């Protein structure tokens, strides 16, 4: 299969949270065009079963490949956790997930001994992070907990509310009691929690966010496959959503932190 | 079209919250068989657009009619608010929603003057409750607010957590300041909030729950259409979900408050 380096990079997520990855990609790879698919008609994936998540992720990838993307970034931890090996077997372009880059960044710090992981029920139940860490550093102790209330708080925009602080305290209590030194934000929504988490944890716990680590990994992958775009024309950003509402548009602005053109309605 | 009174009653919801309606139906109509469809692969509907909600609701109704149900209960406030008139035009069996019964029960109390309504973003934005009340009692003042964080708390099972209390206080503050005498729980998940709401509101605010009022309305509707089941054989309950996971099964038990047989996986 011949791949055109001027083709866009495909990125998908269950909803608009994956736009935090697009934001990081645009900072790191400002010359790349991006086609983003958010499966907002079926969001969230995090509470659903592995079979269903794999079916959705396959349809999302096929949608992007129909638009001739040169590589696919799975900007969703739940879809990465359950579907990445399947996608990599089924499709022939490079397919990049968010879990491995997060784990690499986590283990970069040589003094990392106890790692906490938060994510959706699907991500945590898959043990994808736990497994990837154990394969590299079996000595590292891992505490993982599903935190399904965090996405709703982020989508409601209550990022500074005492109830969010109370929820975070409750979720993090057991891992803080065990003395974690690193906390992996295993969901592409969570970068928006960083200010509140920093206030809550002080400087004691290092935060690893899967959006920026995934962007760095994508850059390396495009370099290795000689897929970096060389054209000097302005790169484009296309956003497709399977359901459109004003709420999704507002959220998209918040996650992307930038303007974008008209959202296209996708049918899967 | 000839309808067999021994046929089951069809009930659908975006997920498993509608089982609170099934629970109320089984108490009030213990001789009826029920086929329930929960669209757990695409849950929630409350944050999605009217077009998408109508498409999903039509597919849900068709699924039940393919199983020869004699009437359909839309046990989801969002689907009722956006799709009920469409469904009633498109299909020929009686189709019963949750909004009208809730409004009737609300206005039964002659001293009802200021009504608060809580529900998903989709339900509140549709103005279905606001409109139905204004048509009957234009003098009644209505305060409606979308409360998207409540379903996640209920599904997490944190029904007694201080963070839930803080969230409810924040949501209800503006309507309590305006002196509501009645609060409509405009989402079939919300009956599980009744103990916390009673503690928070004391005896000052009457609670109207859409599950039990919908069951009473369904009973009247079956009577009027001479559709009550007369057979003395044991009625059945079939539960179909478009996505199955243990989490949904646990939630289903909590919402139904009773045992049920094996869940069937539905494909829409």
Give A102-133 pLDDT, tens digit per residue: 999 999 987 899 999 999 999 999 999 999 99
Token duo for residue A82:
């359950």
Yes or no: say if B187 and B121 are a contact pair by the CB < 8 Å rule.
no
* Residue B2 pLDDT exceeds 80: no
Query: Which burial class, exposed, middle or buried, applies to B88 when counting CB atoms under 10 A from its CB (0-12, 13-18, 19+)?
Result: middle
Same domain, A117 and A129: yes
| Secondary structure tally for chain A: helices H, strands E | 11, 10
Domain count, chain A: 2
Same domain, A73 and A131: no
Yes or no: say if A59 and A34 are a contact pair by the CB < 8 Å rule.
no
Q: Does the interface predicted TM-score (ipTM) exceed 0.85?
A: yes
* Residue B1 pLDDT exceeds 80: no
Same domain, A200 and A219: no
Query: Tell me, what's the pLDDT at B247?
Result: 84
* Cβ contact A47–B245 (<8 Å): yes
Same domain, B159 and B227: no
DSSP-assigned letter for residue A159:
T
Chain A contact probe: residue of B47, B78, B263 with most A CBs at under 10 A: B47
Q: What CATH number has the domain bearing residue A226? A: 3.40.50.1860
Query: Tell me, what's the pLDDT at A162?
Result: 97
* Residue A1 pLDDT exceeds 60: no
Pick the range with the lowest mean pLDDT from A205-219, A252-266, B31-45, B85-99: A252-266
* Cβ contact A42–B41 (<8 Å): yes
CA distance B214 to chain A (A): 27
The catalytic residues of A are 76, 187
Question: Alpha-carbon distance B78 to A209, whole Å?
Answer: 35
Is B185 within a domain? Answer: yes
Whole-angstrom distance between the N-terminal and C-terminal Cα of chain B?
24
Average pLDDT, chain B: 95
Same domain, A124 and A188: yes
Q: Which residues of A125-152 are buried (b: 16+ CB within 10 A; e: fewer)?
A: bbebbbebbeeebeebebbbebbbbbbb
CA neighbor of A44 nearest in space, from A79, A81, A96: A79
CA distance A82 to chain B (A): 14
Decide which of B210, B229, B255 is a domain's last residue.
B210
Whole-angstrom distance between the N-terminal and C-terminal Cα of chain A?
24
pLDDT tens digits along B235-266: 999 999 999 988 889 999 989 988 888 899 99
Whether B76 sits among the annotated catalytic residues: the reply is yes
Same domain, B89 and B130: no
Is A250 within a domain? Answer: yes
CA-nearest residue of chain A to B266? A52
Is B3 within a domain? Answer: no
Is A242 within a domain? Answer: yes
pLDDT tens digits along B21-52: 999 999 999 999 999 999 999 999 999 999 99
pLDDT tens digits along B209-237: 988 999 999 999 999 999 999 999 999 99
Is A203 within a domain? Answer: yes
DSSP-assigned letter for residue B203:
T
Decide which of A211, A227, A242 is a domain's last residue.
A211
For residue A205, name the pLDDT band (cuts at 50, 70, 90): very high
* Cα Rg of chain A (Å, integer): 18
Same domain, A42 and A134: no
* Cβ contact B48–A243 (<8 Å): yes
Is A150 within a domain? Answer: yes
pLDDT tens digits along B69-90: 999 999 999 999 999 999 999 9
CA distance A90 to chain B (A): 23
Containing structural domain, residue B146: 99-210
Same domain, A223 and A204: no
Question: Alpha-carbon distance B224 to B218, whole Å?
Answer: 10
- Torsion angles phi and psi, residue B120, rounded to 5: -70, 170
């Amino acid at each position: 299969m011949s791949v055109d380096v001027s083709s866009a990079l495909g990125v998908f997520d269950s909803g608009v949270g994956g736009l935090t990855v697009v934001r990081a990609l645009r900072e790191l790879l400002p010359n790349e065009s991006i086609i983003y698919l958010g499966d907002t008609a079926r969001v969230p994936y995090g509470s659903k079963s592995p079979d269903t998540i794999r079916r959705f992720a396959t349809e999302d990838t096929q949608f992007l490949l129909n638009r001739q993307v040169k590589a696919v970034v799975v900007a969703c931890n739940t879809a990465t956790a359950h579907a990445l090996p399947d996608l990599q077997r089924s499709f022939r372009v490079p397919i990049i997930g968010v879990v491995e880059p997060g784990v690499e960044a986590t283990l970069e710090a040589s003094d990392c001994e106890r790692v906490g992981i938060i994510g959706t029920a699907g991500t945590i139940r898959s043990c994808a992070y736990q497994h990837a860490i154990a394969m590299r550093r079996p000595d590292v102790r891992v505490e993982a907990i599903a935190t399904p209330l965090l996405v709703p708080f982020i989508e409601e925009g209550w990022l500074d509310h005492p109830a969010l602080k109370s929820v975070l305290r409750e979720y993090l209590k057991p891992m803080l009691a065990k003395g974690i030194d690193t906390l992996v934000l295993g969901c592409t929504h969570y970068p928006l929690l960083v200010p509140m988490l920093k206030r809550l944890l002080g400087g004691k716990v290092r935060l690893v966010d899967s959006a920026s680590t995934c962007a760095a990994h994508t850059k390396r992958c495009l370099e290795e496959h000689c897929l970096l775009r060389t054209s000097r024309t302005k790169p484009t950003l296309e956003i497709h959503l399977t359901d459109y509402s004003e709420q999704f548009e507002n959220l998209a602005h918040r996650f992307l932190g930038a303007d974008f053109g008209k959202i296209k309605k996708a049918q899967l």
